[in-house]
A and B are shown apart, each in its own frame.
Chain A
Amino acid sequence: MSQHQPSARPTPRRAATAPTAPGSPTAPTTVPSTRAVPPPPALTSVPDYLQQRVAFPSRPAPVPPRVITEPGRTRGVGSRLQTISSPRLVVALMTLCTTVVLLFGLTVATVLVQTAGAMQRAGHNAEQLVRVQNIESQLLRADALATNAFLVAGLEDAGSRRQFDEALADASTLLVEAGRAQPADQEALQVVAAELTRYAASAAQARANNRQGYPVGASYLGQASTRLRETAVPALEAAARANTGRLVAEARSGSVLLVVVAGTSTLAVLAVAGILLARRFHRTFNLGLVAAAVLVLVATAVAAGTLAAVSSRVDDLERAELSTVRHLSAARAGALDAKALESLTLVARGSGGAFEEAWQQQADAVADALEQAGTPDLAAAWQRHVEAHAGIRTLDDAGDWAAAVQAATADGPSNRTAQEFQDRLAPVLGGDVVQVVDRLGGQTLGLVIAAGLTGLLVLGAGTAVLAGLEQRRREFL
């Protein structure tokens, strides 16, 4: 390449004083071709004295077009590039190209790193979602145990009392964890925490009164159950909705478009730089710029490909495991709520129509959620519980309240099938939760690697730009 350089060398000097035969604005495109063909010694070979003798130049002196901006002042118009000297052009292109390549690198790295962060946060949101749904389940479990124990005459069974205490303790531990994990949930969780305290107090009061044989105990429990469903459960469901929304928003935040736009713009800038160089130096390609363009292209492909892959994996996750987690959690809470409602139907003794209606709704919701989750095993287990419940209703409707209570409490078919359902559901749900969190977190690694790789490629591109242009610049030293 370098052997042709001399031809270009004088040009800048002349360009500084008399800007330009070549860049005559009227026929810019023809100039490079005409200048490329004729022998090098064109103008410079004419001695100065010869030029001075020309009385009437064949062409008007090449004065760049100017406009009068105000009296006595003019301003040049037309492309500045044509008036700029070659070394300055090279330096300007060097700065422009490296800056653009760097900006591209920064943009892509930012998008990738931010997407990695978003995946991590999506994972955290998934954990929070599970936590919040777990709190709801524990509260409803406690209430199901309390209402069920109330149905049994006499003192409640020590085992169910212990389970009740455990459920409330679990709920309060989870509340503290959840509040710490997501500050945005704190306000909603405070409502739940306040209600949990009130519920525990009411349950204790209910027990104390029950022990003395006072019917006001039952009223305390009934009121506590109602409040729990009117206050704590809606707040927890709002938190679950909010966390699902956050999860989805984070998981979808990676922007392939931004990367592609950044890549294309960078390539465009490199191309323009290449064209300018080619015009000025009669070179078709500057190897450095070409190499840089290839590297930028690869970096764009790597980044966009990684983001697209992540997005498709997140879509899969959302369609499969995440949706299963949501549905199974809903089914779990619904089943526990249904159990409490069944007890309340019997407590109301023949006037539990409203509770039974609520039970039906809840049972349908559970069956629906299980169908959506695509878990026929669990659906079958739930169906067994529904049948047990139907048996209880038959007994109660036939007037045999005592037998209905027996079937609904202790080791009766209702409690047995409900427990079996929960036992089967727990491992499936747990497994899916682990998968969701792992998969979301797993995307982080790929994104960080892609970010590093893009960084290296961009570094290479920058170096190539500098190397390619440095070659031109050096010719003027």
Chain B
Amino acid sequence: MNRPARRRGRPAAILLALLLTACAPAYAPTPVPAPPASPTPTPVPSTSPRSAPDCEDPLASYAPPRSNPEPGEMPAGSTMAEIAARGRLVAGVSADTYLMGSRNPTTGEIEGFDIDLVKAVAEALLGEEDAYELRVITAAERIPVLESGEVDLVARNMTITCERWESIAFSAEYYRSGQKVLARTSSGIASPDDLAGRRVCAPEGTSSLERLRTELPEAEAVAAANHTGCLILFQSGEVDAITGDDTVLAGLVVQDPYAEVLDMEPLSAEPYGLGFNAEQTDLVAFTNRVLADRIADGSWEDSYDRWLRPSLGEAPDPPDQVYGR
């Protein structure tokens, strides 16, 4: 009787001990979700450069009236009257293009050379320079928001081109910029020729990116959402250089002491204009009057001195105002 009982007890005890101690099952490892396509913008395959449509003179805008109506006296049915009824001018701007249009972290206000223009138009139209609402948009959104009528104008360092004239309208030129290249100090990049095989960043949907692909085909083009996005890639070493308008690059250099704009001939001339809905030519003419007045009374130069002079030097001559459309 005893023997079987003992025989019975031993394996059971061993088994029980085994069950209690060594029973933690090895679970299948938690599947790790695939990371998003790529944390950094991938190089955009270079598209065959489209032949830019020709137009007689892209800089020619709608002729302004000799003088604008006073605030509160906008002609009935005009775009200006609609804006006056709304009580504020809606402008698409950049909030991260330092010096042109960027949010001041200390005050929370968006300010810059472009924003001064919005204020001037708001003042001429509504009588007070703060009667505006800003919509922060990316470069790629500039034309869509104008076409959909979400904003009255776009003041976001926008280059006047024949191609863009096909979908929107421009004011007369308010600044002549040029596309240049920014690189790290002592990186061995001294001229655009040194960019062959290097990674160069430009914001998506900009003429800078297209020009980069046509003018510097040996460089590897990398697109980011905007210029500050490029600066982040630049600071983390993911791109070697940034290309863009000298005004924008000036703003980036201020934010990074290890960056410098190459001493070079601009890759292109970039005439800036305010963008409008193609239908609202009355507003374009109205704005052209404001721009011409600003050049005449020195506000243009004041604004330049405030924002761009520390980085770009003495004010050039204001661009010629060309009309005839």
Interface residues of A (CB under 8 A from B): 98, 102, 105-106, 109-110, 113-114, 117, 121, 150-154, 182-188, 191, 209-220, 223, 227, 230-231, 234-235, 237-239, 242-243, 246, 347-351, 399, 401, 405, 455, 459, 462-463, 466-467, 470
B102 CB–A CB distance under 8 Å? yes
Contact of B88 among A151, A215, A399 (CB under 8 A): A399
Chain B positions 217-243 with a Cβ under 8 Å from a chain A Cβ: 226, 228-229, 231-232, 235
> A217 to chain B: which residues have CB within 8 Å?
105
* Cα–Cα, bound, A227→B39 (Å): 7
Distance to closest chain B CB from A163 (angstroms): 20
A219 contacts B229, C-beta separation under 8 Å: yes
> B19 to chain A: which residues have CB within 8 Å?
110, 113-114, 117
B8 CB–A CB distance under 8 Å? yes
> A237 to chain B: which residues have CB within 8 Å?
33
A187-B32, A238-B32, A463-B5 as given contacts; A218 in contact with B96, CB under 8 Å = yes
Contact of B106 among A191, A213, A216 (CB under 8 A): A213
Query: Which partner residue on chain A sits nearest B254 by CB separation?
Result: A214
> A463 to chain B: which residues have CB within 8 Å?
1, 5
Interface of A is mostly: helix
13 intermolecular pairs with C-beta atoms under 8 Å apart: A109-B16, A113-B16, A152-B108, A154-B107, A184-B26, A213-B105, A213-B106, A215-B103, A216-B252, A216-B255, A231-B36, A350-B134, A350-B135
> A153 to chain B: which residues have CB within 8 Å?
104-109
> A405 to chain B: which residues have CB within 8 Å?
108
B48 CB–A CB distance under 8 Å? no
Query: Which partner residue on chain B sits nearest A448 by CB separation?
Result: B20
A348 contacts B136, C-beta separation under 8 Å: yes
B12 contacts A215, C-beta separation under 8 Å: no
> A231 to chain B: which residues have CB within 8 Å?
35-36, 39
Query: Which partner residue on chain B sits nearest A192 by CB separation?
Result: B32
Distance to closest chain A CB from B302 (angstroms): 21
B129 CB–A CB distance under 8 Å? no
Chain B positions 86-142 with a Cβ under 8 Å from a chain A Cβ: 88, 90, 95-98, 102-110, 133-138, 141
- Interface range on chain B (Cβ under 8 Å from partner): 35 or more
A210 contacts B105, C-beta separation under 8 Å: yes
B106 contacts A113, C-beta separation under 8 Å: no
> B102 to chain A: which residues have CB within 8 Å?
215
B133 contacts A399, C-beta separation under 8 Å: yes
A117-B23, A242-B30, A405-B108 as given contacts; A215 in contact with B228, CB under 8 Å = yes
Contact of B12 among A105, A121, A154, A470 (CB under 8 A): A105
* Cα–Cα, bound, A455→B36 (Å): 55
Contact of B136 among A117, A350, A455, A466 (CB under 8 A): A350
Contact of A462 among B8, B35, B229, B231 (CB under 8 A): B8
Query: Which partner residue on chain B sits nearest A101 by CB separation?
Result: B8
Contact of A349 among B30, B95, B232 (CB under 8 A): B95
> A455 to chain B: which residues have CB within 8 Å?
12
A349-B134, A462-B4 as given contacts; A215 in contact with B105, CB under 8 Å = yes
A191 contacts B32, C-beta separation under 8 Å: yes
Give me 11 other A-B pairs in contact (C-beta within 8 A), A185-B30, A188-B31 excluded. Answer: A110-B15, A151-B108, A153-B105, A153-B109, A154-B106, A184-B28, A217-B105, A218-B95, A349-B134, A350-B133, A350-B134
Query: Which partner residue on chain B sits nearest A125 by CB separation?
Result: B27
* Cα–Cα, bound, A468→B103 (Å): 95
Distance to closest chain B CB from A228 (angstroms): 11
* Cα–Cα, bound, A90→B241 (Å): 95
> B52 to chain A: which residues have CB within 8 Å?
none
CB-CB nearest 4 A-B residue pairs? A153-B108, A350-B135, A219-B228, A184-B27
> B141 to chain A: which residues have CB within 8 Å?
351
* Cα–Cα, bound, A213→B33 (Å): 37
* Cα–Cα, bound, A91→B108 (Å): 95
> B76 to chain A: which residues have CB within 8 Å?
none
* Cα–Cα, bound, A246→B28 (Å): 9
> B145 to chain A: which residues have CB within 8 Å?
351
Contact of A187 among B30, B105, B110 (CB under 8 A): B30
Distance to closest chain B CB from A52 (angstroms): 46
Query: Which partner residue on chain B sits nearest A227 by CB separation?
Result: B39
> B15 to chain A: which residues have CB within 8 Å?
106, 110
B137 contacts A351, C-beta separation under 8 Å: yes
A399-B133, A466-B4 as given contacts; A246 in contact with B27, CB under 8 Å = yes
* Cα–Cα, bound, A89→B95 (Å): 97
A223-B232, A351-B135 as given contacts; A215 in contact with B96, CB under 8 Å = yes
